Structure 1
Amino acid sequence: MMVKVEIVSKENIKPSSPTPQTLKSFKLSILDQLIPAPYAPIILFYPNQDHGDGATDLDHQLHTRLETLKDSLSKTLTDFYPLAGTIKDDLYIDCDDVGAYFVVARVNTRLRDFLENPDLELVNHFFPCAPGFNGSVAGCCVTNVQVNVFECHGIAIALCISHKILDGGALSTFLRGWTGSSRGSKDVVIPNLGAPSLFPANDLWLQDSAMVMWGSLLKFGKCSTRRFVFDSSKLAVLKAEAAGNGVKDPTRVEVVSALLWKCAMAAAEEKVGFRKPSMLSHVVNLRKRLASTLSEDSIGNLIWITSSECGPESEIRINDLVERVRGSVSKINGEFVKNIRGDKGREVMEESLEKLKDCGTTKDYIGFTSWCKMGFYEADFGWGKPIWVCGSVSDGSPVFMNFVVLMDMRFGDGIEAWVNMDEQEMEILQHNQELMAFASLDPSPLQTNQLSVF
């Protein structure tokens, strides 16, 4: 049977209280110009653990949950008022209280059946917006939600919130606020909306510079998306290997990044027959690097991009690559943040991005972002925590970047690496013996997340 996602309703959820006239225009920060992706997409999957006494009970339960989601979203948007607005342009959000675009869809299969062997082509149909580099333009809603209801009344809540105002950390803050409201928590999450005053934007020079940089990293052909899952026991071995070769206290993100970088270089070399220099980038969260003025609840793209390089003559060892990753990330420190806020901020930012702008066709490239430790598996709307969390899928896309999203697993310290890569290189990568000694390829989330809730 072909699985289909059918839209059954669409509406806009407005904030419970109107936004004051003095707050009707929200100016974005200079850092909001850095990321080209239109949305910060995420899907949270929840099983139905209360089966009721029959279809009538299940329908009533579903109706109650949908109304709870809408009511709590409405309340949350009052405090996160820019997220209830529309895109005006690349400098401003219109806080016009249009509200969040809210879609309900039905999926003609059970959640368990989907999770047995997730169809990655189907994943993007769970979102209210199409993935890709288009979208989130003038007039579009900042916040878009789709609630997908499976035959068993399990649900998948998918969010596409404009990347013009939200990074992974801010998405986590919004979800904490929404889920807390849905549960009736007395601990209200109040977002810090002060980023534009710390990183003011008067023009679009960074956007223009970033578009040149990202444009040089785009690939044309066909993208392949695969999940490489590293359980905590395998990561302990990998960390021990790096530590045994002189790296002090390697983190799981560092060792997974280093191993995937090493294996991606090998795949690219096998594809073309020779080895080129390789660049790795990592997204760095600035919140902890400016803790005196930025809180974890700060909204915006409070991130920067750092890069490290491995030359064609270098001997590729995991510990060396871990040190390169760590060294590049360590440069984005409190002093760096102070400098980009100073009189020479533009010069500092341009110099920081220069290596990536020059990458072009002369070097291989792979980018990373980590959504680990952001608490997405704690997102409880009142009927339990999610059993699986994922993002959008680039599989089959003709325009793409070699890019990896690192995410937590439901239990333990494992990592799910969502790897988007040229399909020829991916075919080589997924047969790399060193990589597959530590990772499982596209395992069922029922297996990796130790699920016994069905």
Structure 2
Amino acid sequence: MTMEVEIISRDTIKPSFPTPSHLKTYNLSYFDQHIPSGYLIPVLLYYPKPKTSINTTTSTACLKESLSKCLTKFYPLAGRIKDEVSIDCNDAGVNYFEAKVNNCSLLDVITNPNTHSLRQLLPLDQPYTLESPLLLVKVNQFQCGGIAIGVCVCHKISDVSSLSAFINGWSFAARGDSEVIAPHFELAALFPWKYENDEQGFEATEGPTKYVVVAKRFVFNASDIARLREKAQNVESPTRVELVSAFIWKRFIEWDRSRSYPTTKPYSAFHVVSLKKRRATPLAEHSFGNMSTIVSALLTAEKDDSDEYCSLVAKIRGAIRGIDGEFVKKLESGDEGHLKRFEAEMMQASQGGNEPIHFTSWCRFGLYDADFGWGRPVWVATISLDFPNLVRLMDTRSGDGIEAWVNMLEEDIEGFASDPELLAFA
């Protein structure tokens, strides 16, 4: 049965209090300026029918009012991009949609998710442009009483941790909680635009579109991760993100080799690493904005013991652990030579005809904590993005497992997803 989503209202929600004049310009940090524009962090939160009946009209009014209150604190989200270095905090507001879902229950969506159908639950009916709102919200009401809240944010201004802080702040306000999430906007002062010779362009983009990219979701429960840990017993204390990343990389390598002519090409695994908790002096809680870098692990062309699973775990672990407080300190001090050396290493890993796969972790950012008065979400999900060979890692609801959303070309995904070794662990 095909899910039908009917939009029943459209609104623009503005901050409940005007942004003060001295805050009208929000400067982007060095990290923000190197992030592509576009709604590249789509999040869906699913809530079952509340145990106590709720008045839909009252609930909707509460969501709007609390969203408006939350935007007062997260005021840059209600603005518009001004230029390559700043946001005009003009209180233009965010787009808010309400919709009803026909021919489908919440349980149907959760038990048999289809990435094409899930996209309908997000407010993505218009492509991103430089004049677009920076935040979009869509509240979907299922006939069974369940609710799905879709949120999309412009990646230029926010990472997953910042979006999670906003969603949780909104949920606190919705249930009248006295606890307040107050974002801190210090990153532009700590990491301003310093590198005059940097030729980073500024453009609105949602990624390449000349290919059809689809996503498959692979669930690694705690028991699956425990088995992976046993396979990597020679590596000291690997995290579940490192274990799952290395396993998917291993299966990706084996799958690519099986479909190719005999080859000795190298393979690279790129991983986004958040720097917010790696600074020697801790940042303020809920520091808003992007602050991450990308590291790479390289499997050279020579096929030897280095392509065994334990070795791949060690490679990814070493790359991630190499980003420490000293690395952040040098970036903060404006050590351009340090940055250029790092970029040269990344460039080397990107060249040589290798086959790359990209990872980013959305784990441990508290998305499952968002309680709007109906309890915690039963599922937090995302959708496919137009980037092939991209893997997004998300928490399971229990917090000890991982959902891996693997984006691949349409003609490739079925072959990869049918790998018996992959399915034996996920």
Instruction: Please tell me the TM-score bracket, short chain as reference.
Output: over 0.9
1:90-239 superposed matches below 5 A: 90-108=84-102, 109-129=104-124, 135=128, 137-201=129-193, 208=200, 221-239=211-229
CA contact (8 A) 2:50 2:145 kept: no
CA distance in 2 between counterparts of 1:360 and 1:46 reads: 45
1:55-70 superposed matches below 5 A: 61-70=55-64
Change (3 A) 1:360 1:145: farther
Change (3 A) 1:268 1:142: same
Change (3 A) 1:203 1:401: farther
1:361 Cα deviation after fit: 7.2
Amino acid at match of 2:151: L
Question: What do residues 188-223 of structure 1 show as CA deviations (whole Å, max 9, x unaligned)?
Answer: 111110100001026786572799xx99xx695432
Helix, strand or coil: the match of 1:326? helix
CA distance in 1 between counterparts of 2:166 and 2:197 reads: 29
CA contact (8 A) 2:270 2:357 kept: yes
CA contact (8 A) 2:84 2:202 kept: no
Candidates 70, 89, 92, aligned match of 1:76: 70
Q: Which residue of 2 aligns with 1:300?
A: 289
CA distance in 2 between counterparts of 1:15 and 1:417 reads: 35
1:340 Cα deviation after fit: 1.3
CA contact (8 A) 2:268 2:299 kept: yes
1:44 partnered with 2:34:
no
Amino acid at match of 1:34: H
CA contact (8 A) 2:16 2:68 kept: yes
1:242 Cα deviation after fit: 0.5
1:355 Cα deviation after fit: 4.2
CA distance in 2 between counterparts of 1:257 and 1:120 reads: 21
The Cα RMSD (Å) is 2.3
Amino acid at match of 2:291: L
Helix, strand or coil: the match of 1:276? coil
Change (3 A) 1:191 1:401: same
1:428 partnered with 2:415:
yes
Change (3 A) 1:68 1:360: farther
Q: Which residue of 2 aligns with 1:363?
A: 354
Helix, strand or coil: the match of 2:226? helix
Gaps of 5+ in 1: 53-57, 440-454
Give the paired residue count: 418
CA contact (8 A) 1:38 1:162 kept: yes
CA distance in 2 between counterparts of 1:182 and 1:337 reads: 36
Q: Which residue of 2 aligns with 1:443?
A: none
Amino acid at match of 2:27: K
Q: Which residue of 2 aligns with 1:283?
A: 272
1:266-281 superposed matches below 5 A: 266-273=254-261, 274-281=263-270
Name the TM-score, length of structure 1 as normaliser.
0.87
Misfit runs of 4+, over 4 Å = 202-207
CA contact (8 A) 1:9 1:104 kept: yes
Gaps of 5+ in 2: none
Amino acid at match of 2:356: Y
Helix, strand or coil: the match of 2:232? helix
CA contact (8 A) 1:267 1:425 kept: no
CA distance in 2 between counterparts of 1:175 and 1:191 reads: 12
Question: What do residues 216-256 of structure 1 show as CA deviations (whole Å, max 9, x unaligned)?
Answer: xx69543231001111111111112212xx21112111110
Structure with more helix by fraction: 1
CA contact (8 A) 1:169 1:296 kept: no
CA distance in 2 between counterparts of 1:207 and 1:121 reads: 36
1:45 Cα deviation after fit: 0.6
CA distance in 2 between counterparts of 1:301 and 1:25 reads: 17
Amino acid at match of 1:165: I
1:432 Cα deviation after fit: 1.8
Q: Which residue of 2 aligns with 1:448?
A: none
Change (3 A) 1:206 1:34: farther
1:17 Cα deviation after fit: 0.8
Amino acid at match of 1:386: P
Q: Which residue of 2 aligns with 1:373?
A: 364
Q: Which residue of 2 aligns with 1:445?
A: none
Candidates 223, 247, 251, aligned match of 2:235: 247
CA distance in 2 between counterparts of 1:210 and 1:325 reads: 31
Q: Which residue of 1 aligns with 2:250?
A: 262
Question: What do residues 69-101 of structure 1 show as CA deviations (whole Å, max 9, x unaligned)?
Answer: 111111111111111111223311110011121
Identity percentage of aligned residues:
41
CA distance in 1 between counterparts of 2:37 and 2:237 reads: 33
Amino acid at match of 2:216: R
